[in-house]
Structure 1
Amino acid sequence: MPQRLLVIEDEPTLARLLSYNLTQEGYDVTVEDHGTAGYERASGESFDLILLDLMLPGMNGIDILSKLRAQGIVTPIIILTAKNAEEEVVQGLKSGADDYITKPFGVSELLARVSAVMRRVSGKNEEIIPTTQSSASTISLGQLEIFPEKYEVTLGGISINLRPKEFEVLLYLARKPGVVLTRDDLMNEVWGFDYIGGQRTVDVHVSSLRKKLELDPDSVHIDSIRGVGYKLVVNKKKSTPHLI
């Protein structure tokens, strides 16, 4: 059965281009040209991926994205943004987008990004895990506990709601506490070697994580290493990292 894609795009020529090329690649494509109709379709039916324009009549793309994520819908979403619209990209990523494409874009770029996201979702990109650790192990760092198998995190016994990519960034940092990881490390581990988006994606997810870890910053926090990347810092006076 072909994978189902939903395209929410109100510009007729672009919508036809997207539909034609994705259909040629073997996807089952549904197109909506109105924000409200697109949201209703996305929330009422099951899709493998959504291509979402941000400037739409009825309901804009950010509102659609936010409402879908608030409902617990985790369908991967690639947003379509205008050239030089960095604020839109940041806002979209913060709202739960998995990737973005800047208009105008070529067909090859579109297909590469869609294919990369679909591979990650279908599990064809195997997660790199140290052989000494099991993906099912609970990781305890200070007051932070991470449950990889459940995609759940608690801090001081309080559950923290993380989006999937936020969770994966935190998990990778937590497996190497105190070690400086470059943006490229994080991009390759969390988004995959074939991801062709910018490093801004990493910065946005780390920024969002920091805000959610403010519940107990004295126990664990993320440090920036200028020009290099990030590391997870644990206050050892409060607790010693261990695996359960």
Structure 2
Amino acid sequence: MSYKILLIEDELMLAKLITYNLTQEGYELKHQENGAEGLQAALDEPFDLILLDLMLPGMNGFEILSKLRQKGNRTPVIILTARNAEDEVVEGLKLGADDYVTKPFGVAELLARISAVLRRTQKDEFVVKEKTKTDEKVVVIGDLRIYPERYEAEIEGESVLLRPKEFEMLLYFAERQGMVVTRDDLMNIVWGFDYFGGQRTVDVHVSSLRKKLEVGRRTVQIESIRGVGYKLVHHTSTAKS
């Protein structure tokens, strides 16, 4: 499978180096050097990953990232930032970046981070993706329907009231139905790499989400995998109570 990557970077020599090396590894690259044009490309075409520089002409990387997430675009993003720019990294992760690489970086490091992010965010092939009449994406697992663009979910047509973090966890679980998700994965994806809270925070949110999913219903459940994490399962033959 050839992954399609959007590179938004105004340093042309660096962009050429990245494009060459990733193409050699089998990735399909599209390069934009202007921030506003990069944002438009990200919204117009489906990409598996975005490599995003922060200091760009036209629109900076923070604005691009913020607008993408506001519009419901969940394409994984790796930000490219200057060495010792800790504040930039923290801000980028808070806005929804999945990882970061500090300049100057080696090709091997970049490839490793790209591979890791793609593994974490790869869509599960058994999750049904549909479109509503308004062309809105909806993720369907049994009686559960998730609307990523609205941050809403429902079971058997009944709305499930979720807090933002609970919704993000549910969507992450749903895209990996049947796969084990570690506490570290949830911490990094939902809270961000800059979060210093403990895994207890994850457990509390999972417990709350589990109760909301399973009250009076047993087709979709979150199972605990002792010492590892959790996974979302769909029991098609289990009767509802």
* TM-score, structure 1 normalization: 0.60
Deviations along 1:177-234, whole A, 9 cap, x unmatched? xxxxxxxx63256669xxxxxx970617xxxxxxxxxxxxxxxxxxx56xx8645288
- CA distance in structure 2 between the partners assigned to 1:7 and 1:163 by the alignment: 31
Structure with higher RCO (Cα < 8 A, 6+ apart): 1
Verify: 1:187 aligned to 2:175, yes or no.
Answer: no
- 1:86-235 equivalence runs, <5 A: 86-123=86-123, 158-162=161-165, 167=170, 186-188=183-185, 201=193, 203=195, 224=197, 230=201, 232=204
- CA distance in structure 2 between the partners assigned to 1:94 and 1:163 by the alignment: 17
- CA distance in structure 1 between the partners assigned to 2:188 and 2:48 by the alignment: 17
In structure 1, runs of 5+ residues without a counterpart are 125-135, 139-146, 172-184, 193-198, 205-223
For the residue of structure 1 that corresponds to 2:204, the secondary structure is strand
CA contact (8 A) 1:137 1:243 kept: no
Letter in 2 for 1:105: F
Deviations along 1:144-197, whole A, 9 cap, x unmatched? xxx79777579x9644345986557999xxxxxxxxxxxxx63256669xxxxx
Q: 1:84: Cα distance to partner? A: 1.5
Which runs of structure 1 show a deviation greater than 6 angstroms over 4 or more consecutive aligned residues? 147-151, 168-171
CA contact (8 A) 2:5 2:29 kept: yes
Letter in 2 for 1:203: Y
Match for residue 15 of structure 1? Answer: 15
Match for residue 80 of structure 1? Answer: 80
CA contact (8 A) 1:187 1:202 kept: no
In structure 2, runs of 5+ residues without a counterpart are 125-140, 175-181, 218-241
Match for residue 70 of structure 1? Answer: 70
For the residue of structure 2 that corresponds to 1:111, the secondary structure is helix
- CA distance in structure 2 between the partners assigned to 1:157 and 1:92 by the alignment: 30
- After superposition, the Cα gap between the structure-2 partners of 1:203 and 1:83, relative to the gap in structure 1 and judged at 3 Å, is same
For the residue of structure 1 that corresponds to 2:13, the secondary structure is helix
For the residue of structure 2 that corresponds to 1:232, the secondary structure is helix
- CA distance in structure 2 between the partners assigned to 1:163 and 1:34 by the alignment: 35
Provide the alpha-carbon RMSD of the alignment: 3.9
- CA distance in structure 2 between the partners assigned to 1:72 and 1:26 by the alignment: 28
* TM-score, structure 2 normalization: 0.61
Match for residue 5 of structure 1? Answer: 5
Identical columns (%)? 45
Q: 1:89: Cα distance to partner? A: 1.2
Structure 1 stretch 92-101 or stretch 157-166: which is displaced more? 157-166
CA contact (8 A) 2:187 2:193 kept: no
- CA distance in structure 1 between the partners assigned to 2:192 and 2:142 by the alignment: 30
Match for residue 224 of structure 2? Answer: none
Match for residue 227 of structure 2? Answer: none
